Chain A
Amino acid sequence: MAGLLSQGLTSSEQAEQLRRRLGYDLPLFQQYLHYLGRLLRGDLGVSLYSGQPVSELIGAALPSTIALAGASLLIAIPLGALLGGVAGWGSLPTFRRLAGTLASLFTSLPVSATGVIGLLILGRLAGSDPPSSQTGLWLPAAVLGSAASGPFARAVQAGLQSTRRSPFILAARARGLRQNGRLIWHAARPTLPAIASLLAVEAAFLFAGTVVTETVFSRPGLGRTLVRSILQGDFPIAQAIVGLAALIYVATQVIADGLARSADPRLRERT
């Protein structure tokens, strides 16, 4: 099917014809069912403008976004674990508060603002070289990764705080286990379910975050494709990208659930 809108619509009658042809005049519910049907066949629709399959267009933009999301995750998880660990288990109250504050900071600040500030700081540090030209992947990943580390850190912190004082830990310490990695691992295990489900939230966070980060750092990817499709009214593309994000989000939640059950036997008995 060639680009329906590539010639533009020159009258409202044409627009109405197009709507009917695309099935947009059907009740929403029916449209949704049709969409699901096509989805099961792997057909994500075509761009309203070029007629090219949405799956191809998304496929071209996907690698750049995955690279950014992956690199950000690689930063978010250790950073979040670190901050959460210090905040929940650190011996000095100053450090605990500092880590906690940092985690809060990272969660609440929008990537649009922090990304831009990051670019400016880099520009100052690099002297006269224009900042946005030389960041490569690491600066956007650092910005998005630190933003994503916040919720993760808070979950780790909360988990550790609640188990730190629990009887079995006190018992273990009484038995002579010193405060070291093994003890923490034992303390952390009950919190793993909560943390695992947080990872699903991270996935969602990252999806939304990559949209903004790509814009800030002038990177190609799904973010740019999504925004452009919204501005142009190329709905099939927008629908497919958001649908894909939702799918991944739900999938990660299911996986996280599974991981949680295997880590904590108490959860297995529940339905």
Chain B
Amino acid sequence: MRLARLWLGIVVALALLAPWLAQNGPRDPVASALAAPARGLPFGADALGRDFLARMLVGTRLSLGLAGLAAAIAIGAGGAAGFAGAMLGSTADRLWLWTTNVLLSIPSLLLAMLLVAAWGPGIPAVVAAVGIGGAPVFSRVTRTVVLQLLGAGYVAAARAAGGGRLWTSLRHVLPNALPQLAPLAGTQFGWAFLGTTTLTFLGLAGDPALPEWGAMLNAGRVTLVSAPRLVLIPALAICLTILSVHALTAPSEIENTAR
């Protein structure tokens, strides 16, 4: 637990401080290809002679940032859809049900890939696709929570006291829904991180020089044998980050599944 917080703390701090910490630009060749780690180049150089530490540092920003954006999309779109489905009555609810079921019939990673196929490779496509891929699950949970709350006594009482429907929901349901949904945001981030790093690993981000951990992991495969650090470092970074996120969010997840 503590380790998880420590690692995430480090990673977030590095993300914020990256531009000042990196001695070289992530795209500038500064040494010969695959130069071994040395003074001034703690992680050595990659296959194009770029400072690998600088790329990892900038990668912190990119990897966390892209995942965060995707998670925000999933939470925003999913939450809004679930809320609307629960609130707006049977037609909207049935539409929501139908849409969600269609989207859920495809594994989320493949759904994301299909969306990238339709929009063409690129960073915006990857982020949007992962976000939309994660939205159905979140919208389902939102809807469940909201429905539960709507059934609670005090909401009916507030309505009986004369409050309008929408106003009642915003005042009573929303504040009570948020604490239940908040822990799931962490899980969403975990899945979003997995999604974005996987899609960039597959080369769907469009920019071959992108200093993002998943893309760097892919680029390092060519020199797997001659320069294993170029894959080992991004792999470890990705694993530790995902593990930390899951360690911090898993307990609440188990609670929710047990219900």
Question: Do A and B belong to a common assembly?
Answer: yes
User: Which residues of A pack against B, CB within 8 Å?
Assistant: 104-105, 107-110, 112-114, 116-117, 119-120, 123, 130-132, 158, 162, 204-205, 207-208, 211-212, 215-216, 226-227, 229-231, 233, 235, 238-239, 242, 245-246, 249-250
B residues near A162, Cβ cutoff 8 Å: 258
Q: Assuming A227-B203, A230-B121, A231-B204, is B111 touching A112 (CB within 8 A)?
A: no
Cβ B250 vs Cβ A104 within 8 A:
yes
Q: Which chain A residue has the least Cβ–Cβ distance from B214?
A: A112
Q: How far is the CA of A130 from the CA of B114 in the complex (A)?
A: 35
29 A-B pairs with CB atoms under 8 Å apart are A105-B243, A108-B190, A108-B242, A109-B242, A110-B197, A113-B197, A113-B234, A113-B235, A113-B239, A116-B235, A117-B232, A120-B232, A123-B224, A123-B225, A131-B224, A132-B224, A132-B225, A158-B254, A158-B257, A162-B258, A204-B110, A208-B107, A215-B201, A227-B203, A227-B204, A231-B204, A245-B106, A246-B106, A249-B107
5 new A-B contacts at CB < 8 Å, known A108-B242, A208-B110, A238-B114: A108-B243, A208-B107, A211-B113, A215-B201, A245-B106
A166 to chain B, nearest CB (A): 14
Chain A residues, Cβ within 8 Å of B258: 158, 162
Contact assessment for A238 and B224 in the assembled complex, using a CB-CB cutoff below 8 Å:
no
- Are the C-beta atoms of B107 and A204 separated by less than 8 Å? yes
Q: How far is the CA of A205 from the CA of B19 in the complex (A)?
A: 37
Q: Which of A226, A227, A230, A246 has a CB less than 8 Å from the CB of B105?
A: A246
Contact of A215 among B202, B224, B234, B243 (CB under 8 A): B202
Interchain CB contact under 8 A, A231 and B118: no
- Using a CB–CB distance below 8 Å, which chain B residues touch chain A? 105-111, 113-114, 116-118, 120-121, 190, 194, 197-198, 201-204, 214, 217-218, 220-221, 224-225, 228, 231-232, 234-236, 238-239, 242-243, 245-246, 250, 254, 257-258
Q: List chain B residues, Cβ under 8 A from A105.
A: 243
Q: How far is the CA of A231 from the CA of B203 in the complex (A)?
A: 8
Question: Is A245 a contact of B107 with CB atoms below 8 Å?
Answer: yes
Measured between alpha carbons, how far is A93 from B92 in the docked complex, in Å? 48
Given contacts A207-B110, A227-B203, A235-B118, contact A116 B231 (CB under 8 A): yes
Residues of A within 8 A of B236 (CB): 113, 117
Given contacts A113-B217, A117-B235, A249-B106, contact A212 B201 (CB under 8 A): yes
Q: For residue A113, which residues in chain B have a CB less than 8 angstroms away from its CB?
A: 197, 217, 234-236, 238-239
A226 proximity list for chain B (CB < 8 A): 113
CB distance from B121 to the nearest CB of A (A): 6
B197 touches A246 (CB 8 A): no
Does B224 lie within 8 Å of A120, measured CB to CB? yes
Partner among B107, B116, B190, B242 whose Cβ is within 8 Å of the Cβ of A207: B107
Assess the A109–B243 pair: CB atoms within 8 A. yes
Which chain A residue has the least Cβ–Cβ distance from B109? A208
The interface residues of chain B lying within 8 Å CB-to-CB of A131 are: 224-225
Question: How far is the CB of A123 from the nearest CB of chain B, in Å?
Answer: 7
Which of B105, B220, B236: most chain A Cβ within 10 A? B105
B38 CB, nearest partner CB in chain A, Å: 22
Q: A38 CB to closest chain B CB, in angstroms?
A: 17
Which of B121, B228, B235, B257 has the most chain A CB within a 10 Å cutoff? B235
